[in-house]
A and B are shown apart, each in its own frame.
Chain A
Amino acid sequence: MKLSRRDFIKSQAIAAAASTAGLSLSATQLANAKSNDDDEDIRWDKIPCRFCGTGCSVLAGTRGGRIVATQGDPDSDVNKGLNCIKGYFLSKIMYGEDRLQTPLLRKTDGKYDKNGEFEQVSWDEAFDVMAEKWKAALKEKGPSGVGMFGSGQWTIWDGYAASKFMKAGLRSNNLDPNARHCMASAVGAFMRAFGIDEPMGSYDDLEHADAFVLWGANMAEMHPILWSRLVDTRLTREGSEVHVLSTYTHRSFELADNGMIFEPQTDLMIANYIANYIIENKAYDEKFLKDHVNIKKTPTDIGYGLRPEHPLEVKAKNSGKGKLSNMSFDDYAKAVSTYTLEYTSKHSKVPKENLLRLAKLYADPDKKIMSLWTMGMNQHTRGVWMNGLVYNIHLLMGKIAEPGNSPFSLTGQPSACGTAREVGTFAHRLPADLVVKNPKHRAVSEKIWKLPEGTLNPKPGFHAVLMQRMLKDEKMNCYWQQCNNNMQAGPNVNDEMLPGWRNPNNFITVSDPYPTISAVSADLILPTAMWAEKEGAFGNAERRTQFWRQQVPAPGDSKSDLWQIMEFSKRFTVEEAWGSELVAKKPEYRGKTLYQVLFKNGQVNKFPYFDNTVKDQDDNIYKNDESKHFGFYAQKGLFEEYRRFQTEGPKPGHDQAPFDTYHKVRGLRWPVVDGKETLWRYREGYDPFVTKLNPKVKKGDVYFYGKPDGKANLIHAPYEPPHESPNEEYDLWLCTGRVLEHWHTGTMTNRVPELHKAAPDALVYMNPGDARKRGLKNGSKVKIISPRGEITTRVNVRGRNKPPKGLVFVPFFDARRLVNKLLIDATDPLSKETDFKKCVVKIEKA
């Protein structure tokens, strides 16, 4: 049989798709695909996708030092061989024409000048100038004078090294990740309800659940692979249904059996209404509540996380407060009884029959339900409350911690969980769910890190939004941003961010592979190695830790974030960073650098690295530029030291497998005990910690071991109004978010010509009625004006997003129109996460 090369490749492609879909092909098609193709010089290796928090594994094909092809990894449990459109272009994200290749410093006449032009400098000069500024700030203001803003896109060891450098090295807790903007509310609610971060279930629930409820997540566009698994269940399982809640109609509504558009902020009412329905109909699981749940209430009237002098904060009785107090079941029932069907329907504008159908679904003891949410619920001035209200529903029904019954918080970044959350890069945290405030947690951290007693600072540092306010107010003078584009992604850019960055007394460093808005707003730009250009590890939304090897070299003089942090630490002596009093407690550290104390400490440098010895099972050889430079296997040493927090720390249930294991498997979901991963936590039979921590537990029963008494908290929280609402002048809600083709601020996806062409401009999606009222048509040029600023763009009334009257949607990927200029920096007072989903605007013809 003669077969052209094209036919052969096509047969292979079709066979792969059929096998993924579980469909059969004709015998000829199969035979064609089985022919021998030694596609030669392409080396294939697994690597998790660089984009969202799903954590798809892809196979990357490398030839001549470049990634030339990617495909969905058929051996991955997450994506089972599938890939979304962004994954399709993964191989191109590193090869944008404007890739930065040398450090760039603002200079005039050969010297650093805040108002100078960017000039190429060596790493030595870059770090000399930066260290001088940092030392001056430390001397003048102490540890709070410097800060670092990291990322949920950092690898696990990038984040771990940053945490160690800032918290142990410079004794500053001013370290926060951009995950503050996306996941902080989810974290807050997990800690309050369960005492341990991250979901109890796993993606396997997508195949076990009968019904799915999306609370503020457009999975069809933002988590396409998980969506395809959900679609599969919906279309193949008898009686399966999908309910979608949002403030505007989006692609996920096309599968919805019950689609609901609610008035912004009234999700708080809807969740309480469901609880009320369950109680009134006595549908709750009384035994589960008695055995496994404590009922609590949270302080109300807590403000909106604005500056303290803002009238809304002055007015709030309990600004920022969250201490829980006990509540009886009867008082709880009474508290939610306000949220009747009539009341909730009237305020949310969701028809009664839709609300009732949703409530009945949750109240049906025979339906297994997966609730899913992302930014619609987290980026909310009552995000922690709202996350908690959904847990309340699952706890009332006992529908939790078992296959198919799963409240599931999705993530937007590839390692928001693995790095930002687990490694403790938040301003109040330490690794493995430990916190800086707790003396016992500090003590165990100091022991593992071999620090003198009292090194760690007990005061939480500045969180993401506060850091920007402190730069503006000159309370913090040095700022280092890595692996994110906060000048485009942060809120209220013009009023609260840019002034601090351009203040002559501040020194701003941005590490980035491309000249983003952040990079060009800085004083020093450090060129960064990207994901496949370093050995890395991410942790996805289902607690799965995935590793990869360095696939290709970084271009020019760019270096990984890890290299940058470790190398910069060489610039400080312990005396400069700690002061002589603290050094006196460990005289053997005298005269040493932070690099020696933190990274050459006999632990991190424990594993030798001989050049070119990173090999896979097939003897393929991979480089590891950091290990070559430092002379030890840096990633392994950091990870193995980090693992000690999981077993020696006071918070059990975080165990990960040894470093080498992860290079061999397609990821494992922690806790990993004796090589076995955990798919459902807190339930006997699935989670080994249940029996370990509660030997008397009954077979198949639940034990919420994150809390001292093994019980979860059901936390009542009422509806409270949003920070601002449309008024006579600003008569529309603005909601921001993403679109399928682009990821976040577009730093990577806008460098892929195909994706850029597919969605070049951020449009304003608008209701046709609202457009008509303003004399606008599809394509009209308009100004969007908020009390903070304005942008110009074009109207779309027929697009994928269809807002109701009174609301418009604008994506934030477009660097030419910074929609975040329009936003107010209102945050959830508990989680400090910004509300990117609600502010007021007006729209005029431009």
Chain B
Amino acid sequence: MTICSLVVQAKPEYLDNVNETLNTMNGVEVHAQNEYGKMVISIDHPSREYCSKTMTDMTRINGVMSTSLVYEYQEDLEPTTEGAIQ
């Protein structure tokens, strides 16, 4: 399991486009954004390699000016251990 969160900065006039492209990417979710084009994004995927590739791909979306990683968690969870913790 790999989960990471990112801050993406897009040109405001491209926000819709960028949102649309991000929504087509497997494991990617947009959680918040503002009018200046700043977005909070997570990637949730079993493969770490996928996450890093996705992060690089995001940088190349038309209108994206910068992509920075904030938090990354990686763990090899067996399906059985992934239960409720509370």
Q: Which A residues contact B (CB, under 8 angstroms)?
A: 1-6, 8-10, 12-14, 16-18, 20-25, 29, 35, 68-72, 81-85, 87-89, 220, 224-225, 227-228, 231-232, 234-236, 251, 254-255, 740-741, 753-755, 757-758, 800
Contact = CB atoms under 8 A, between A and B. Distances in A.
Contacts of A757: 49
A14 B52 contact: no
A505 B20 CA distance: 65
B70 to A, nearest CB: 4
A571 B78 CA distance: 55
A10 B65 contact: no
Contact of A83 (B9, B36, B70): B70
Nearest to A16: B71
A81 B52 contact: no
24 contacts: A1-B86, A4-B83, A5-B83, A9-B3, A13-B3, A13-B5, A13-B73, A14-B31, A18-B40, A82-B68, A83-B68, A85-B69, A220-B66, A227-B66, A228-B9, A232-B9, A235-B11, A235-B37, A251-B59, A741-B56, A754-B52, A755-B52, A757-B49, A758-B53
A2 B84 contact: yes
Nearest to A229: B66
Top 10 A-B residue pairs of the complex, sorted by shortest distance between their CB atoms: A17-B5, A13-B5, A82-B68, A13-B71, A17-B70, A228-B66, A23-B32, A83-B69, A16-B71, A2-B84
Nearest to A81: B70
Contacts of A68: 74
Contacts of B74: 68-69
A225 B60 CA distance: 16
A231 B48 CA distance: 27
A12 B36 CA distance: 24
A255 B70 contact: no
Which of the four size classes fits the interface of chain B? 35 or more
Contact of B68 (A5, A70, A72, A758): A72
Given A1-B86, A740-B59, A12 B49 contact: no
Given A22-B38, A85-B56, A235-B37, 4 more contacts: A5-B83, A85-B67, A235-B65, A754-B52
Contacts of B4: 13, 88
A103 B84 CA distance: 50
Contacts of B44: 6, 10
A6 B1 contact: yes
Contact of B77 (A5, A72, A224): A5
Max chain A Cβ within 10 angstroms of own Cβ: one of B12, B34, B81: B34
B28 interface: no
A24 to B, nearest CB: 7
A618 B77 CA distance: 30
B9 A235 contact: yes
A13 B53 contact: no
A85 B31 contact: no
A224 B66 contact: yes
Contacts of A9: 3, 73
A255 B65 contact: yes
Interface string B1-31: 1011111010110000000000000000001
Where chain B touches its partner, the secondary structure class is strand
B53 A82 contact: no
A2 B37 CA distance: 34
A4 B3 CA distance: 13
B85 A228 contact: no
A224 B9 CA distance: 12
Interface string B38-49: 111110100011
Contact of B86 (A2, A13, A220, A225): A2
B79 to A, nearest CB: 11
B6 A17 contact: yes
Contacts of B77: 5-6
Given A23-B32, A235-B65, A758 B7 contact: no
A29 B53 CA distance: 26
Contact of B69 (A72, A234, A758, A800): A72
A441 to B, nearest CB: 43
Contact of A10 (B7, B42, B69, B86): B42
B62 to A, nearest CB: 8
Nearest to B55: A85
Contacts, number: 155
Nearest to A759: B56
Contacts of A224: 66-68
A611 B44 CA distance: 43
A231 B37 CA distance: 10
Contacts of B71: 12-13, 16-17, 71-72
Contact of B48 (A10, A23, A234, A754): A754
Contacts of B39: 21
Nearest to A225: B68
Nearest to A18: B40
A740 B31 CA distance: 26
Nearest to B73: A9
Contacts of B82: 4-6
Residue from the set A21, A255, A757 with the largest chain B CB neighbour count within 10 Å:
A21
A35 B36 CA distance: 31
Contacts of B41: 17
Contacts of A740: 56, 59
A10 B85 CA distance: 14
Contacts of A3: 84-86
B12 to A, nearest CB: 7
A25 B32 contact: yes
Given A5-B77, A25-B32, A757-B49, A88 B40 contact: no
Contacts of B73: 9, 12-13, 69
Given A3-B84, A14-B42, A82 B52 contact: no
Contacts of A1: 86
Contacts of B86: 1-3, 35
A755 B56 CA distance: 10
A4 B83 CA distance: 6
B4 to A, nearest CB: 6
B2 to A, nearest CB: 10
Contacts of B53: 754, 758
Contacts of A231: 9, 65-66
A231 B60 CA distance: 15
A228 B7 contact: yes
Contacts of B7: 17, 20-21, 82, 228
Nearest to A758: B56
B40 A14 contact: yes
B69 A88 contact: yes
Nearest to B33: A23
A234 B56 CA distance: 22
A243 to B, nearest CB: 15
Contacts of B84: 2-4
A754 B74 CA distance: 14
A81 B33 CA distance: 18
B32 to A, nearest CB: 4
Nearest to B1: A6
Nearest to A25: B32
Contacts of A741: 56
B6 to A, nearest CB: 6
A17 B72 contact: no
Given A23-B38, A85-B56, A231-B65, A71 B85 contact: no
A194 B74 CA distance: 48
B69 A753 contact: no
Nearest to A227: B66
B68 A84 contact: yes
Contacts of B40: 14, 17-18, 21, 23, 25
A9 B75 CA distance: 11
B36 A235 contact: yes
Nearest to B57: A758
Contacts of A81: 70
